[in-house]
């Protein structure tokens, strides 16, 4: 397996660091528009895992053009392209993989488009629709496009599949729930607003109309930040108010899983939601360039790109962040015994641990862990398919087994009171 990794930001850098301890691949070519970032990731391997240093090299790429992607993939003889950049580049990298006739993987999927006349009821183009429409092309070419394989989507999908296959006889609802108690401080020790993931992606997820799915209704949308409700997260994180946001799992899971309802809720917190609403009110969430006057003359810049430029790079937060993040999936329905069941399957990452072992903050490290494990399963032939597919279409048990046995990452399965699964009640079924 020869992997062309596109993007050496926070998640791409963490992919390199995690993969440096594994031996399932022949080569990883770390590429970025800013080659210095790619070189920095490779240098980390040389200093921390010198035995693996010759398996990594840096390259420069402009991933906005599929021809550039295809050319570099062919030059380095890649068998797989791993997309670790912002979702606005998904289409060009996806097409580049098809042009080069190589397999493809990403963590965030092609962007959605809001319905022009009925945005808070009717979806238009959903997250990932553009990619799913290419299924026949990848299948005809004998290639696999494994999409949405990060933390969320990704391990959240895998948890849903594991629950359906091994814990439940009938699934009513699948709700992906993400939350954490992460704190970022400035040099003066004051807590500041600094998203742990790309603000470009955060804005896209949180300000678009949330996508929902019900078996009797199909896909529909709601107002942003709808249905606020507290959910108690494990690992000492505690209760956090969660709201509906747009996310890929809601488009992915109903395609191959039998459930009555699928939703995604994000534990953002009141302050975070307030900042996002302010950005929207000021038009700073827009992606279309606007004219700006400056001392150097007129220029055009997208407001969202400006916001991203003035906020800290998520990869740089490792030394100023504390706390944990939890990615998980709540499944309700009937257990194998036919009785009502509610189970929250989850993985918790602690910044103190990820910083000490990988010099990475918890969110980007947790996101990077999943594609590395998935690539190893593909390399070993334990996952195998063609076409455009999500991780929930593969064996979840083999993924979670490898994750715990060889990557030393434990995952949790927490049974909760079916009448009130939002609260941890360890005594309800004793």
At 307, which helix (H) or strand (E)?
Answer: helix 303-310
Quick one: average pLDDT of 316-335?
Answer: 91
336 pLDDT exceeds 90? Answer: yes
The C-alpha atoms of residue 121 and residue 243 are separated, in whole angstroms, by 17
User: Which tokens belong to 321?
Assistant: 């962040």
Q: Cis omega (within 30 of 0) on the bond before 153?
A: yes
Question: Structure tokens of 239?
Answer: 């209760």
Q: Is the pLDDT of residue 197 over 80?
A: no
Tokens, residue 343: 């189970």
Helices (H), 84-240: 90-100, 129-132, 135-140, 155-166, 199-207
Residue 405, classified by CB atoms within 10 Å of its CB into exposed (0-12), middle (13-18) or buried (19+), is exposed
Query: Could you report how far apart the first and last alpha carbons of the chain are, in Å?
Result: 49
Give which of 221, 224, 220, 212 is closest to 250, Cα–Cα: 212
Highest mean pLDDT among 185-199, 216-230, 271-285: 216-230
**pLDDT range class, residue 263, cuts 50, 70, 90:** very high
- Apex CA 428: angle with CA 427 and CA 430, to 5°? 65
Q: How confident is the model at residue 302 (pLDDT cuts 50, 70, 90)?
A: confident
Q: What are phi and psi of 319, to 5 degrees?
A: -85, -10
Quick one: pLDDT at residue 397? 98
pLDDT at 316: 77
Longest dimension (CA), the chain: 71
Question: Count of CB atoms within 10 A of residue 236's CB?
Answer: 11
Q: Give per-residue pLDDT as tens, 55-91.
A: 999 999 999 999 999 999 999 999 999 999 999 999 9
Residue 281's pLDDT band (boundaries 50, 70, 90)? confident
Span 301-330, average pLDDT: 84
pLDDT at 430: 58
Mean pLDDT rounded to a whole number for the chain: 93
Count CA atoms closer than 13 A to 216's CA, side-chain side. Answer: 2
CA 275 to CA 338: how far, in whole Å?
Answer: 45
10 Å CB burial of residue 219 (0-12, 13-18, 19+) is: middle
Query: pLDDT of 27-37, one tens digit each?
Result: 999 999 999 99
The per-residue b/e assignment along 337-351, b for 16 or more CB within 10 angstroms, e otherwise, is eeeebbbbbbbbbbb
> Are residues 378 and 385 in contact, defined by beta-carbon separation less than 8 angstroms?
no
Q: Token pair of 424, please?
A: 């941890």
Q: How many residues does the chain have?
A: 430
- In angstroms, rounded to a whole number, what is the distance separating the alpha carbons of residues 246 and 125? 12
């Amino acid at each position: 397996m020869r992997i062309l990794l596109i993007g050496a930001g926070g998640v791409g850098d963490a992919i390199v660091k995690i993969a440096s301890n594994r031996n399932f691949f022949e080569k990883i070519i770390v590429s970025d528009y800013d080659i210095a970032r790619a070189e920095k990731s490779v240098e980390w391997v040389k200093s921390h895992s010198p035995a693996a240093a010759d398996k990594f090299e840096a390259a420069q790429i402009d991933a906005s053009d599929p021809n550039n992607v295809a050319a570099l993939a062919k030059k380095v003889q890649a068998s797989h392209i791993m997309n670790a950049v912002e979702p606005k580049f998904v289409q060009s990298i996806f097409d580049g993989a098809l042009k080069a006739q190589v397999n493809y993987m990403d963590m965030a999927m092609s962007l959605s488009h809001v319905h022009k006349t009925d945005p808070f009821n009717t979806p238009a183009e959903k997250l990932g629709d553009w990619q799913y429409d290419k299924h026949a092309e990848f299948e005809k070419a004998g290639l696999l496009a494994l999409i949405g394989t990060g933390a969320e989507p990704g391990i959240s999908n895998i948890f849903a599949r594991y629950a359906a296959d091994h814990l439940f006889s009938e699934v009513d609802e699948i709700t992906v729930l993400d939350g954490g108690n992460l704190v970022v401080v400035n040099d003066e020790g004051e807590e500041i607003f600094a998203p742990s993931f790309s603000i470009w992606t955060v804005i896209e997820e949180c300000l678009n109309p949330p996508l929902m799915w019900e078996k009797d209704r199909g896909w529909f949308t709601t107002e942003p930040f709808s249905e606020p409700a507290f959910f108690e997260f494990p690992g000492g994180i505690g209760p956090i108010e969660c709201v509906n946001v747009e996310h890929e799992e809601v488009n992915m899971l109903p395609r191959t899983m039998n459930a009555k309802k699928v939703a995604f809720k994000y534990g953002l917190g009141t302050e975070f939601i307030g900042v996002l609403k302010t950005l929207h009110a000021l038009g700073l969430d827009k992606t279309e360039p606007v004219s700006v006057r400056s001392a150097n003359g007129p220029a055009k810049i997208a407001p969202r790109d400006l916001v991203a430029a003035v906020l800290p790079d998520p990869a740089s937060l490792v030394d100023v962040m504390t706390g944990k993040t939890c990615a998980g999936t709540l499944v309700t329905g009937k257990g194998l015994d036919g009785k009502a069941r509610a189970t929250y399957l989850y993985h918790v990452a602690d910044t103190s641990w990820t910083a000490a072992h990988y010099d990475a903050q918890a969110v980007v490290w947790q996101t990077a862990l999943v594609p590395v494990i998935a690539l190893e399963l593909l390399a070993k032939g334990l996952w195998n398919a063609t076409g455009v597919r999500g991780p929930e279409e593969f064996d979840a048990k083999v993924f979670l087994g490898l994750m715990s046995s060889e990557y030393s990452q434990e995952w949790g399965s927490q049974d909760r009171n079916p009448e009130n699964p939002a609260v941890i009640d360890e005594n309800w079924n004793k």
